[in-house]
Structure 1
Amino acid sequence: MDVTSDRMNRVHASRLRLLKDLRENRAVRELSKAEAQRDIAAAAVQRACRELAIAEQRRATAEVELYQQLVSLDYLSATTLDRYHFVLERLAAKVGVERRTFDDARIAQQQAESEAAAAKAHWAGCSAVNQKWQQIEDDVKRADEICLEAAAEIEVSDDVLTRHRRSSLAQLSNSSI
């Protein structure tokens, strides 16, 4: 919104700048909140990544141990094979759960990052507008000060003129008598 400073008074400009200050402060709070959410999402991704790595490591270790036991056994029963198969399926399911948790955390992190970027862009816009209104308010103050100075100079000139006329009239009346 382009507004020339000569069309405003000081109070109006000050109120408008205050409104812009409030909007900028709100944008700063929103930016801070979005950045905090982004940081929380990043921490959740790191935590999910660790949990996924732990689950994969447990599954790999269990597979190695089970295969070593299977190789060392002379006799394999169906129940033993079923038990080992059940253990491996359970560990694979745990890895699947951790992988989905990790994927969900990554998606949440990407959303939080985009929201933080949008909040930062909004704050930058509010900040620029606020600076413009500060400039307009300063221009209005300068214009008011110039008007006051001009009015004071006119008043002084009027006083000098009035005194000069009185002294001229007094001289005229003294010389005509």
Structure 2
Amino acid sequence: MALSVKRAERRVSVCLDGSLVAQYEAVTEQLETKLKEKLIDNRLNDPVAALQREQHRLFEAQREQTVTFVVRGLPRSKWDEFVEAHPPREGVELDKEYGFNTETIFDAILSHDAPASIAEVLDADGALQEFKPADWTEFSKDLTRSQFERFRAAVTNVNAGESAVPFSLTAFKATQDSAGK
């Protein structure tokens, strides 16, 4: 029997309309304040329902504007090629720690197509979106540092992070025979 390996994958979600995130956070903060006020005086409950509806509306708007990138690990030899092609910069502690140029390697990997590190891009409903590795450079120009860091973490994790066999305590408990307990 021949064994085959399906390389590790991680999901990175990006809301394409960042203003919705800020609006959602503002409404959530207002809602928390009104809920605290409601605890003090139950007659102040009218704004709570309206804020909950607005929070839900903004949540749905964010969801509709979110795409999820599935980042797949590279074969070990390909990862090693990228690391060799992007040596650590002199005097940059982060590069020294990771063993590669942390400023250039991620864009190179995410825009590479043979094999592609971006396995697929899905919309909020799980429908496959057209996205080629060559699209990465243009797309990533508008990412914030925070958004880009999530991609960097996913690429690092699937290629050089620790691999562990998944374990679910909940599933383990659910499948145990309780007769001996």
TM surpasses 0.5: no
Larger Rg: 1
Greater helix proportion: 1
* TM-score when normalising by structure 1: 0.28
When normalised by structure 2's length, the TM-score is 0.28
Which of the pair has the greater relative contact order for Cα pairs under 8 Å at 6+ separation?
Answer: 1
